[in-house]
Amino acid sequence: MTNHGPAQVLMVQGTSSHAGKSVIAAALCRIFAQDGYRVAPFKAQNMSLNSYATPDGGEIGRSQAVQAAAALVEPSVEMNPILLKPEADNRSQVVLLGRPRHLTSAREYYRLKPTLWSIVTSSLDRLRAEHQVVVIEGAGSPAEVNLRHHDIVNMRVARYADAPVLLVGDIDRGGIFAQLVGTMVLLEPEERALVCAHVINKFRGDESLLTSGLDFLHERTGVPVAGVVPFFKDIHIPEEDSVGLNERASPAAANEIDVAVMRLPYVSNFDDFDPLRHEKGVRMRYVARAADFGSPDLVVIPGSKTTVADLDWLRAQGLAERILSARQERTPVIGICAGYQMLGTELLDPHGVESKAESTPGLGLLPTTTTFLREKATHQVRGRVVGSHGLLRECPGAEVVAYEIHMGVSSTPGLASPFALDVRSRQPVDMPDGAIDADGLTLGTYLHGLFHNRAVRRSVLACAGARRGFRPPFADDDLDPNVEYDKLAAFVRQHLDMGLVYKAMGLQR
């Protein structure tokens, strides 16, 4: 199929944050790809600490990388040209076309926004020139009237692209009809004209009870309901933001390995831990209070956008003390990215990248020193396990595929490195990563996605369980992301009127 001009577009907007826009957009990316189109996702501006490295070393929101995978294309910086990464003190790092460019307050960012529109439009234009369909995702709600004159991600994008809009509402939160009708009322007439259909998302119960409400919605807004998409738990797609991390997991049973991941205020790349959640015989839980720490079999300190602030928080919550006590009792501790930096003896910040403190003491579990730099390292990497003891004793030589996103380097005098990198942003390299102590129970690494590597993950879990004589009953296979995307596409096809969607886009199926 050849492309004769700019790609057709479809935009998914929501009545609020966490309405399910990202997942619906991912489903549509896979549906159009299955139907023979070359598809790309696009989100003009994303605010998230969950980010991803593109093959050429740029940084974009994780949700657009997920949507690219669903669309069966490589992620690129044009798919998310503006990424905001919140930091402490109400600041955000502004990543433009994959590179950090500014550190601003909200007020300063609004003043910057008019200069960013050309980046948005040129990125969208390029995607439309190279693909046949572009699925555009909005952010938050298009009905934030106080922010309308700053809009570069919702209806302004839809108007620019003349994109039909699916308006998604979250019925699980309640008030679905007020959400959808209220949003339509607050849109300008030319914006309302772009809304081609409503989508009611996360429904639980008997759909026949909705009939009168759906009729009312159509009559009141003049816009049909394209579908009622049920709530699901058996399709596994990475979460876009940390809202879904706030639910407390129940304590591990006697026949489960208890993995405690520290719930840092500025936790990043939390989908690092999805594979732990899906392993048989493993209970992964997030811990935000010392009272909930318990007696885990494995402690993980995740990535963070604000290493020093989150390290201070660990101490203030009493969690740092609990981690140190657990390690003294031979509980394994793993630090990923910022968590790795926290495990060391000292964090140096000569340029004020992280905080005003030039030096901050670490937890002291590894004799490493981290120095924060102005330049961010963003790479997709491929390497192998070179450690062979402790947490890695069952996987020496195993291949590791991961990615790096960090603004610091860590010196590891006298320590073995657990991993060696062979490829970094498509370039051959020969460089070590991370540090592991003498007994192999404290491990630090810059590699996000580490637990997505089955051999490494299962070696770590086997070691964690060995202390009390338990080995998880590992399943034969991992979750296959492509199977999950196909399941999602089939599920959404079942509940969404794709004929209506194709007609609104002017496309043939």
Active site residues: 337, 448
What per-residue string of b and e applies to 295-325 under the rule 16 or more CB within 10 Å gives b?
ebbbbbbbbbbbbbbbbbbbeebebbebbee
E strand map for 181-256: 195-203, 225-230
Q: Which helix (H) or strand (E) holds 445?
A: strand 442-445
Identify which of 478, 439, 333, 454 has the alpha carbon closest to the alpha carbon of residue 385.
454
Residues contacting residue 494 through CB under 8 Å, at least 6 positions apart: none
Identify the CA nearest to 443 among candidates 307, 300, 335.
335
146's CB contacts (< 8 A; 6+ apart) are: none
Pick from 281, 284, 279: nearest CA to 299: 284
Coil, helix or strand for 208?
helix
> Which stretches of 72-175 are DSSP H helices?
106-112, 117-130, 155-161
Q: Which candidate, 323, 461, 438, 450, places its Cα nearest to that of 391?
A: 461
Element (H, E) at 91: strand 91-96
Q: Are 420 and 413 in contact (CB under 8 A)?
A: no
Largest Cα–Cα separation, the chain: 72
Angle at 80 between CA 79 and CA 83, to 5 degrees: 170
Residue 219: helix, strand or coil by DSSP? helix
CA distances from 251 to 95, 243, 292, 300 (A): 38, 20, 9, 16
CA distances 21 to 62, 223, 238, 433, 472, Å, are: 14, 18, 13, 36, 36
For CA atoms 46, 48, 50, 52, give the dihedral sign. positive
